Structure 1
Amino acid sequence: MSQIDYYLSPISPWTHLVGDRAAQIARKAGVPLRYKPLDPMALFPRMGGQVLAERHDSRKAYRLQELERWSRRLGVPLKLQPRHFPTNPAPAAYAIIAAQEKGGGDLDKLVTGLCRACWEEDRDIAEDEVIRDCLAAAGFDTALAFSGMLVGAEIYPRNLEDAVEAGAFGVPFFVVDGARFWGQDRLDFLAEHLGVTP
């Protein structure tokens, strides 16, 4: 059976712009969506990319312009310069991993909640209190912020290796049946591949 592997980072504004659209496509297509949080700062150099701080100023400026355009187009609020960016995305990623493994809540809501905390609410998603709030809002046991650290720490680097092997070179990145789709602006193509409307 097909599965959508969704490589993401809650610290990515492009992941924030995905919102729950990937989850809606997966539901329409009747295929599982597997969230695979990873460290984009470790992924970029391994796949020929550059971390944001090392990009040319013209590319940095264009990134902000595109974020503003897509935020407006999608109707998704986004602060171009959030108070807590960059921050360590690992604690939030661990919570996503642990919640996915444990079950019992709304995983899509957790991911969108963590992204919203950073990109709309100026909250630091590396802080336990923020992670616990997002877990609770999505119906998960808030103890996962602590108890999930071990499983998160184990799977997080594995997701990076999976991404490299799958040919993913950025986030958000979707892989299904060997077909690859990079970016929140490629979700229409993902839906088309799966035979559904976005």
Structure 2
Amino acid sequence: MAHIDYYFFTVSPWAYLAGDRLEQIATEAGASIAYKPVHPGGIFKAGGGLPLNERPQSRQDYRLQELERARKKTGLTLNLHPAHFPTNPAPSSYAIIAADKAGAGDLGALTHGLMRACWAEERNIAEDEVIRDCLTAAGFDPGLADSGMLTGAETYERYTEEAVAAGVFGSPFYIVDGAERFWGQDRLDDLELHLSGGL
């Protein structure tokens, strides 16, 4: 059975625009998914990328055009300038890590719910109330927002270091069986073809 390590920023609009396609693809292929939120700063620093506000204006402008096109193609609601972006991705990442450890809920739904809160619902995913709501909606104990902070921080750092070592430089990033790498929601078709043996 194939395994997908899914590295992402909880504040990434591109990861949000992937919707639930990764889950659909993995289900069809019988593949497992490991959800691994990582720190944008650590990934950009190691991979030669720049935070959004430090990029040349031409790249910032192009990003907005690409987001608009992706929004139209996916049909997903997306605020190009959400009220709470950028925001601290650590609390939502810790919640995903705690939920993964706890089990019993839908980790994909939690991940999508947090991203949707940021990019479609004008909510701040650094706030406990928002995180609790997303945990509840995905079938998890909302108390996970308060537990495992130390473990969450340690795991978040470990995932980031692991991602850098694996060659991750952006979000979303998918690695199949530790070898085949796919960057961006627009590479999910290639990921699907790879899993089916067509690529």
TM-score by length of 2: 0.96
Aligned to 2:168: 168
Tell me which residue corresponds to 2:186: 185
Unaligned runs of 5+ in 1: none
Contact 1:25 1:196 in 2 (8 A): no
Matches within 5 A, 1:1-198: 1-177=1-177, 178-195=179-196
- Deviation of 1:196 after TM superposition, in Å, equals 7.5
Moved over 2 A (4+): none
Q: Spell out, residue by residue over 1:21-49, the C-alpha distance to the aligned partner (whole angstroms, 9 max, x if none).
A: 11111111111110000111221121111
* Mapped contact 2:2–2:195 kept (Cα < 8 A): no
Taking the aligned partners of 1:184 and 1:137, their CA distance within structure 2 comes to 24
Q: Does the aligned pair in 1 maintain the 2:2–2:30 contact within 8 Å?
A: no
| Two-structure CA RMSD over aligned residues (Å) | 1.2
Identity of aligned residues (%): 60
TM-score for the superposition, normalised by structure 1: 0.97
CA distance in 2, matches of 1:119, 1:100: 23
Amino acid at match of 2:195: L
Gaps of 5+ in 2: none
Deviations 1:149-178 (A, max 9, x none): 222111001011111111111010000120
Please give the alpha-carbon distance, in whole angstroms, between the structure 2 residues aligned to 1:125 and 1:175: 26
Name the SS of the counterpart of 2:2 in structure 1.
coil
- Could you tell me how far apart the structure 2 residues matched to 1:130 and 1:196 are? 40
Aligned length: 197
